[in-house]
Structure 1
Amino acid sequence: MTALTLSTSSAASLRADAVVVGVAKGPKAPVVAAGAEAVDAAFDGKLATVLETLGATGAEGEVTKLPSPAGWKAPVVLAVGLGDVPAEDGGYGTEALRRAAGAAARALAGSKKGAFALPIQDADDVAAIAEGALLGAYAFTAHRSGDDKKASGAPLAEVALLGAKPRDKAFKAAAERATVLAEEVNRARDLINTAPNVLDPKAFAAEAQATAKELGLKVEVLDEKALAKGGYGGILGVGRGSDAPPRLVKIAYRHAKADRTLALVGKGITYDSGGISLKPAGHNETMKCDMSGAAAVFAAVVAAARLGLRVNVTGWLALAENMPSGSATRPGDVLTMYSGKTVEVLNTDAEGRLVLADALTRASEEKPDAIVDVATLTGAMMVALGSRTFGIMANDDAFRAAIHEVAEEVGEESWPMPLPSHLRKGMDSPVADIANMGERMGGGLVAGLFLKEFVGEGIAWAHLDIAGPAFNESGPFGYTPKGGTGIAVRTLVRLAERTADGELG
């Protein structure tokens, strides 16, 4: 993991591979941002002119490198775009700083140290720059060996935030929180990027057990025998076509003075072939990412524990591998769920809602104040919102609005979605209580309505469909890498913090 330090050293004297400064997009020319005064002075006040000559505009994520002034310890100045110049009395905004820091950290991959002289007005800016840099420096090399591992590029080893006083308690606390948050997002990314032959349900459960032991968390793992004894027909039905049997993992953080409890439920399909309803060619290659919801839930519980939040957080990881075989669930089969409801399976590729349904019922038995489930659930949500935005559905409008507000606060793009009651009729089954498919149009909303059926009475519940932003198949941008993104971890942690602070009912 990239190290983070706060420093009051000057940009000229600090030993580093590069000094990172911000440049904004002005009306006619790039504008050097605050924090870069020493660098600009060393260029006789003409840094913006030099950058413009080199083609820099200050556009978001743009990176321009140039030699440092003579006598400086760092040989390179790296200017990163912050986007449009803000209003005269306003800052650049935490998300702009987060993205700029991430782009700079990626550009410095393989370097030992980057000195970040980006605009800092308060502790929120320190947190944003630190978070962005640590997330942007991420690299997954677990499956590479020897020269290939070296060639793939090691992440930036150390980030020094210039202008952030190490003895300032607010700055120090912000940096420490950012470090924990980035490490846990990167934990989720690692899990998502791990090959499915390495991370099957049993291996994922073992990872949760090892981490729980390390942090003193309570953990319970139900294997296939315990699932059968308990009547978890949804999880078993999805997992029975695979040689790698399913698991349901409960991992819980408890605070002695907490009076609120959050339950987080994550879809953990470690590989999704579609089952008998096999996915078409071209849709299988990234299906190791279908456990991104469980990865986010796991990482969020661990982050809450490491931060010592005054709230109880329980994570439920519904883990299975969805494969076609002679023992696999067939379209037309009827499953008896943990709740006792029966479900006619019309499409075995609509498996996520089946494992989540069992976990939602189980989580509801403990009477938490709220439940949030996270899942790469439907392609329909990607059609609706694209590849960078997740949808939020809920049985409580205020709770949905609160989660949307939290997600926007931390820089995770989301959008509130409805649960139209008229779509429920499409899931009526002639042979069971409900079918796992309904109308094709509005498929993401239909999936949300299905899940709602398994939430306990009187419990606030929200469903995050992260199918779009969970796995980035295009090039990296800002602090977001190619591959697993760790989306929703920061939203869940911030939700837990606000709950601990009494801001959510």
Structure 2
Amino acid sequence: MPTITITEASVRDVDTDVLILPLLAGADDAPASVPGSPEISEAIAGLDASAARGDLHRIPSFGLAAASSLLLVGVGDEDLAEVSAEDLRLAFGAATRSLSGVERAAVALPTGSADQRAAALEGAALGAYAFVAHKSGTGAPKAALGSLSLVAEGGADAARAAVDRSSLLAEVVDIVRDLVNTPPNLLFPASFAQRAEELVADLPVTVTVLDEEQLAEGGYGGIVGVGQGSARPPRLVRLEYAPTTAKRSVALVGKGITFDTGGISLKPAPGMDDMTSDMTGAATVLGATIGAARLHLDVKVTTYLALAENMPGGGAQRPGDVVTMRNGKTVEVLNTDAEGRMVMADALVDAVAEEPDLVMDVATLTGAAVVALGKRTAGVMGTEDARALVLTAAGTSGEPFWALPFPAELRADLTGRVADLRNIGERPGGALSAGIFLAEFVDETPWAHLDIAGPGFASSPLGYMGKGATGMSTRTVLQVLEDLATGSAA
């Protein structure tokens, strides 16, 4: 991520390679304009520039500013005061995402409010990401934007909090993106566990890792069963951040299928390469835990990463197998590609045993969620109050979530023929029945289930999110923790 600083120079005098400015739509067929910059507005009047959100126009500064070039980004409105925080995040994120290989850029909202400047900077910081770890060849890969300045004429002190928060959020989200974008031959259960230990080594976070023998001895039948077809055995990672003054406690659970072939219920080949992203939930809750520790939040966070590789090896579980879960319930495995709920269920049993005030799980759990909500919106299920906490936090962070129900009639489809449960219901309402399955393992604990199968990994860019890992939901989970720590959440 770029180094983020503050400059108190005027917009005209900022010394940078690229100066990013908002572009407003013109009223009554007037040309688009830059608020607070009549000279620039006059100079671009003949360009017929689009001010639709995220539309970009990079032009030489022509002496209108000290910057080498200007990058005008449409924000989708005629009045800057009416532009939402998320529209600013998306617009300025699109701007910095286009600046890979550029050394320096600055963000300016000449007439924006402090909250709008903070949103624009956050989006710009999130957009300045590139995953080039495995690029090689004659041409040097284009790294992300090198440094980013927030133009805060005469107001550096007021802007400091925005800079600090944007830096932290971008760093945490980039940790998640890097993990998800790492190829599955390099990130597997054991190496993921090792990476988690490394990432929290300098933080007040304790780590416990259970290997395959300990998992078998502990009765984690779901995790063991999913991982038994792979030459790379499963792991369960427990992280704990526990400030002594914490009055609230939260348990986080993340689905960490480091690669998902579907097992014996093999997936079709097209698109299977994207299943390197099936550990996004685990990466997300790890990132949120790191964020909580770095923010010194006054809330206890206990986090479980349920890690396995779902392969169709000779030892793989079969459709028809019966598995005994961590809490003693038995499950008929009718489809080995419904593996995420199996590893999550075991981890949820441990999470609930902590008796937290709230449990949140995050998973790229079902294709049915994508069918229902599309590629950009996540579903949230669970108990009513817990869902409300997530939706409130999502509204603050700007991430799109939609509440989904648990219809009572779907529960009957999960009753097993020879065991307590079956791991799939009927096809209609698949995202809901997956959530209802997980509900069998949380008892009466307040609980939110976040299905991010659509927005966690993108096939096309949008705003501050490029192709591949998006980091979506990390900021929402962290915001929930923050709300509980500060008492703004009931």
Within-5 A mapping of 1:92-131: 92-119=83-110, 121-131=112-122
Checking the alignment, whether the CA contact within 8 Å between 1:126 and 1:175 is kept in structure 2 is: no
The alpha-carbon distance between structure 1 residues 307 and 164, as it changes in their structure 2 partners (threshold 3 A), is farther
Within-5 A mapping of 1:76-475: 76-86=69-79, 90-119=81-110, 121-148=112-139, 150=140, 152-163=141-152, 167-168=156-157, 170-395=158-383, 397-457=384-444, 459-474=445-460
**How far apart, in 2, do the equivalents of 1:377 and 1:414 lie?**
15
Checking the alignment, whether the CA contact within 8 Å between 2:252 and 2:303 is kept in structure 1 is: yes
**How far apart, in 2, do the equivalents of 1:103 and 1:338 lie?**
45
Shift of 1:502: 1.1
Shift of 1:315: 1.3
- Greater shift in the superposed pair: 343-352 or 493-502: 493-502
Checking the alignment, whether the CA contact within 8 Å between 1:11 and 1:115 is kept in structure 2 is: no
Checking the alignment, whether the CA contact within 8 Å between 2:204 and 2:293 is kept in structure 1 is: no
Checking the alignment, whether the CA contact within 8 Å between 1:201 and 1:246 is kept in structure 2 is: yes
Checking the alignment, whether the CA contact within 8 Å between 2:11 and 2:110 is kept in structure 1 is: no
Checking the alignment, whether the CA contact within 8 Å between 1:403 and 1:491 is kept in structure 2 is: yes
Amino acid in the other structure paired with 1:117: A
2:42 alignment partner in structure 1? 46
Correspondent of 2:467 among 479, 482, 488: 482
Checking the alignment, whether the CA contact within 8 Å between 1:448 and 1:463 is kept in structure 2 is: yes
The alpha-carbon distance between structure 1 residues 71 and 430, as it changes in their structure 2 partners (threshold 3 A), is closer
2:5 alignment partner in structure 1? 5
**How far apart, in 2, do the equivalents of 1:6 and 1:310 lie?**
29
The alpha-carbon distance between structure 1 residues 125 and 399, as it changes in their structure 2 partners (threshold 3 A), is same
Shift of 1:440: 0.8
**How far apart, in 1, do the equivalents of 2:305 and 2:167 lie?**
24
Checking the alignment, whether the CA contact within 8 Å between 1:113 and 1:156 is kept in structure 2 is: yes
Shift of 1:119: 4.8
**How far apart, in 1, do the equivalents of 2:114 and 2:77 lie?**
22
Shift of 1:98: 0.8
For the residue of structure 2 that corresponds to 1:83, the secondary structure is coil
Amino acid in the other structure paired with 2:181: N
**How far apart, in 2, do the equivalents of 1:280 and 1:31 lie?**
48
Deviations 1:450-488 (A, max 9, x none): 00000033x1001000000011012x2210111001111
Deviations 1:125-168 (A, max 9, x none): 233122111111100011123535x2x31111111111265642
Checking the alignment, whether the CA contact within 8 Å between 2:414 and 2:421 is kept in structure 1 is: yes
Aligned length: 489
The alpha-carbon distance between structure 1 residues 30 and 478, as it changes in their structure 2 partners (threshold 3 A), is farther
Deviations 1:233-269 (A, max 9, x none): 0000000000000000011112221100111100000
The alpha-carbon distance between structure 1 residues 437 and 233, as it changes in their structure 2 partners (threshold 3 A), is same
Checking the alignment, whether the CA contact within 8 Å between 2:385 and 2:446 is kept in structure 1 is: no
Deviations 1:44-91 (A, max 9, x none): x51451xxx32412000000122213374322111100012248xx34
Checking the alignment, whether the CA contact within 8 Å between 2:7 and 2:156 is kept in structure 1 is: no
- Greater shift in the superposed pair: 77-86 or 337-346: 77-86
Amino acid in the other structure paired with 1:313: V
**How far apart, in 2, do the equivalents of 1:267 and 1:104 lie?**
32
1:63 alignment partner in structure 2? 56
For the residue of structure 2 that corresponds to 1:286, the secondary structure is helix
TM-score, length-scaled by structure 2: 0.96
The alpha-carbon distance between structure 1 residues 71 and 434, as it changes in their structure 2 partners (threshold 3 A), is closer
1:20 alignment partner in structure 2? 20
For the residue of structure 2 that corresponds to 1:85, the secondary structure is coil
**How far apart, in 1, do the equivalents of 2:437 and 2:43 lie?**
58
**How far apart, in 1, do the equivalents of 2:281 and 2:324 lie?**
24
Shift of 1:30: 4.1
Amino acid in the other structure paired with 1:7: T
Query: Does residue 502 of structure 1 match 2:487?
Result: yes
- Greater shift in the superposed pair: 213-222 or 300-309: 213-222
Q: Which runs of 5+ in 2 are unaligned?
A: none
**How far apart, in 2, do the equivalents of 1:347 and 1:282 lie?**
19
Checking the alignment, whether the CA contact within 8 Å between 1:266 and 1:356 is kept in structure 2 is: yes
Amino acid in the other structure paired with 1:103: A
**How far apart, in 2, do the equivalents of 1:147 and 1:127 lie?**
39
For the residue of structure 1 that corresponds to 2:326, the secondary structure is coil
**How far apart, in 1, do the equivalents of 2:377 and 2:153 lie?**
32
Root mean square deviation, CA, Å:
1.6
For the residue of structure 2 that corresponds to 1:314, the secondary structure is strand
Checking the alignment, whether the CA contact within 8 Å between 2:24 and 2:77 is kept in structure 1 is: yes
**How far apart, in 1, do the equivalents of 2:455 and 2:153 lie?**
32
**How far apart, in 2, do the equivalents of 1:386 and 1:366 lie?**
35
For the residue of structure 2 that corresponds to 1:147, the secondary structure is coil
Deviations 1:376-425 (A, max 9, x none): 00000000000000001012x23212211211221111100000111000
Q: Which runs of 5+ in 1 are unaligned?
A: none
**How far apart, in 2, do the equivalents of 1:411 and 1:494 lie?**
11
The alpha-carbon distance between structure 1 residues 252 and 122, as it changes in their structure 2 partners (threshold 3 A), is farther
The alpha-carbon distance between structure 1 residues 202 and 30, as it changes in their structure 2 partners (threshold 3 A), is farther
1:29 alignment partner in structure 2? 30
Checking the alignment, whether the CA contact within 8 Å between 1:275 and 1:323 is kept in structure 2 is: yes
Checking the alignment, whether the CA contact within 8 Å between 1:126 and 1:164 is kept in structure 2 is: no
